[in-house]
Amino acid sequence: SILSLPRIQSAAAVDHFATTLRKFAQGLEREGGIPVTEDSLNEAIKKANRLRASINNLYRLRLTRLEAMPYSKLRAQVRQWLEMSPETAWEDVERELKALESSSPDIVPEGSKVLVASSMLDQIGILELIEEAGMTVVGDDHCSGLRHFDVLVSESGDPFRNLASRYLMRWPCARMQGSPSHVEKLISEVEKVKANGVIYIGLKYCDQPSFDIPRLRALLMERAIPLLHIESDYTEGVGGQVKVRVEAFAEML
């Protein structure tokens, strides 16, 4: 089934998507014999919210424990958590939180802080290369990063409308239109984490996010924040040219 997913943030779009989700649930029950009741949906929402809140806590705590948890390690773990059930993943995140709380706070040199952005960013090799070059990732903006866990679903009222509202009105991705735009939100995140540079990892043939690059570059230039735009084919390997460009960007910072 293909869901009709709006590209604008508005009350009308939320109404439309809520109706789409309700019809989708009815289709699952009709075709697959899978009952989707409001009670079961609310229970699933609570479990997913609990996981989102824990991962948000881990992101925030990590900013004071950057040596104990490099970003490449965080990304590898998040990728595993997204493959688990919400209950199992939550237990794992809570264990990680307790371990991180027991480590000592650290201070990162100001000139080495970067934010990484992409559409999908699962290539741990690129992240390790960034860290090996002497840079510290203090923020991200991609589909399975902090944006994926941003904003909880309301647990009161119509669960279909609550889901629709959360997915449409949260931190927007590059495919969404309106205000605040994806680029504006990215800039606000750069300023929030006080990043000295931005590394945008574009995926070949994923054109929609690339349309943001010229405007993003211009807004970063106004703030004297450099941007490194590199392209990846979604493989784990890192070519020599990418390595040279990342190391040169680190030296410039």
Cβ proximity of 135 and 114 under 8 Å: yes
**Residue 252 to residue 145: CA distance in whole angstroms:** 26
What does the pLDDT read at residue 46?
98
The per-residue pLDDT for 180 is 63
Cα 247 to Cα 154: distance, rounded to the nearest angstrom: 44
Q: Tens digit of pLDDT for each residue in 95-110?
A: 999 999 999 888 777 7
DSSP state string for 143-166:
TTSHHHH-SPPP-SS-HHHHHHHH
pLDDT at position 237 = 62
* Region for 172 from its dihedrals, namely left if φ exceeds 0, alpha if ψ lies in -120 to 50, beta otherwise: beta
**Parts of the chain with a pLDDT under 50:** none
Q: CB count, 10 Å around CB of 249?
A: 20
pTM over 0.75: yes
Per-residue model confidence (pLDDT) at position 236: 64
Report whether 202 contacts 229 (CB < 8 A). yes
